[in-house]
A and B are shown apart, each in its own frame.
Chain A
């Protein structure tokens, strides 16, 4: 029972580099989310996709783009990484208002 799978688990980038974080869920959930978690600040929503074919900005979307590739997959792209984007990134999925299931996270360091 995989649930939500994120890749990679760890990544170090240089300032200005780009990368895509991948997320896939196998629970047939309609909605998917990308969060970042920073010490002392809780989780903050970057983008979400309520259903396949739609994406919406969350609380902190600047510097990020997303793609809902299909019902299973939701990717997050950093076009030009900055040190302020050093964080732990979590993907989650849910069926509308039901509980969200989270992946294990991607620990990203931008130097």
Chain B
């Protein structure tokens, strides 16, 4: 059974600092997705990465997919209070179109 491990579990930093959070899988990813969930809301998709070594940028967020497709990172540059939330990674279970396996998330707090 595939497991997704996210680290750190919790991160609290000052506005303007940089940070990186990680998602590691016990087996090769099929299609890794990163979501952000704000308090009281459902998760919102940020990006999907498929190819080993792939790098995607979304404004101040940089997503990287490991060459072996078993790890991924999310780097935030100059964090802002609006980046506060729970960051979740998820992968398609056995390549299924319908079932996702989720990590437990990294809770990120950006202090003004």
Contacts and interface: CB of A to CB of B under 8 A. Distances in A.
Interface in A59-111: 59, 90, 92, 96-97, 99-100, 102-105
Contacts of A41: 104
Interface residues of A, number: 24
A31 interface: yes
Contacts of A44: 102
Contacts of B103: 42
A interface, over-half SS: loop
Nearest to B104: A42
Given A97-B92, A99-B33, A100-B45, A42 B102 contact: yes
B80 to A, nearest CB: 23
Contacts of B88: 42-43
A74 B103 CA distance: 25
A40 interface: yes
Interface of B: 4, 9, 31, 33, 40-45, 48, 88, 90, 92, 97-100, 102-105
Interface of A: 4, 31, 33, 40-45, 48, 50, 56, 58-59, 90, 92, 96-97, 99-100, 102-105
